[in-house]
Structure 1
Amino acid sequence: MFELIKARMYIAKVQAELKAQYADQAFVNRVCQLPENLKQLRVLREQAYYKKDRIAPFMNVCHILGEGISSKSLPESDREICASLLAQRLQKASTDPQFRLRHIMIFSDLEEKLSDWAAENWNDNK
């Protein structure tokens, strides 16, 4: 029971982090409450190397937005918002080179997802 409460509080922190960036609660719920994203958040909460750092919600929102880009469960408009918000977060991370280097594997993966998404959508819109 206590573990369930802790898990819900953790998800609420991640949702609050995303809502601070994008104030649409319905969008935040759609992205964070996807079953596959809830599973990912549980895994990240338990296994991420940064799980005890105060940057965990920031990193987890980056991850969720990266997953949201390619999610077939979200409408295209939500995936576009995910891409835009992720690009802003990656830009913010790049302003601190030490932070970016500490988490380079994660940010490189997210940059690649964003680049692939942009290339695919740019070709679709041609």
Structure 2
Amino acid sequence: MFGRMKRKMFAAKVMAEIKAQTGNQEFVDRLFSTDWTEEQLEHLRKHAYYRKDSAASFLYGCHMLHQGMLDDGFDTEMRAACCYFLTDRLRKANTNPQFWQQHILIFGNLNDAVMQFSEQLQS
């Protein structure tokens, strides 16, 4: 019972992070209603190296938006919205060189994924 409550609280925290950025509860509900959401959140909660970092919620939000962008089950509009919000987060992270450098592998991979997805949209 306690484990389920912790999982729900964690999910609510990540959802609130993305809603604070997007201002769109419908978008957040749709993103978090996928089959992979629970598994991804559980993995982040237990294994993310940054889970004790003060910026963990920001990074969790990046991860979930990235997963949404890659999800072929979403229509192009939803995937493009995930890409847009992820790009916005990457821009924000890039304004703090120390933070960017601290998480360079994550941000580098996310940046590559955004560029690839953007290219797919244009072709």
TM-score (norm 2): 0.96
State the alpha-carbon separation in 2 of the partners of residues 28 and 54 from structure 1: 22
State the alpha-carbon separation in 2 of the partners of residues 33 and 53 from structure 1: 26
- Gaps of at least 5 residues in structure 2 are none
Matched, 1:36 2:36: yes
Deviations along 1:59-114, one digit per CA (max 9) or x if unpaired, are 01101111111101212111111011001000000000010011001001100110
State the alpha-carbon separation in 2 of the partners of residues 102 and 33 from structure 1: 31
C-alpha displacement of 1:53: 1.8
Q: Tell me the percent identity.
A: 38
SS in structure 1 of the partner of residue 31 of structure 2: helix
Trace 1:1-126 onto structure 2 (pairs within 5 A).
Answer: 1-123=1-123
Question: How many pairs does the alignment contain?
Answer: 123
State the alpha-carbon separation in 2 of the partners of residues 21 and 96 from structure 1: 18
CA RMSD of aligned residues (A): 0.9
Q: Which runs of 4+ in 1 moved over 2 A?
A: none
TM-score (norm 1): 0.94
- Gaps of at least 5 residues in structure 1 are none
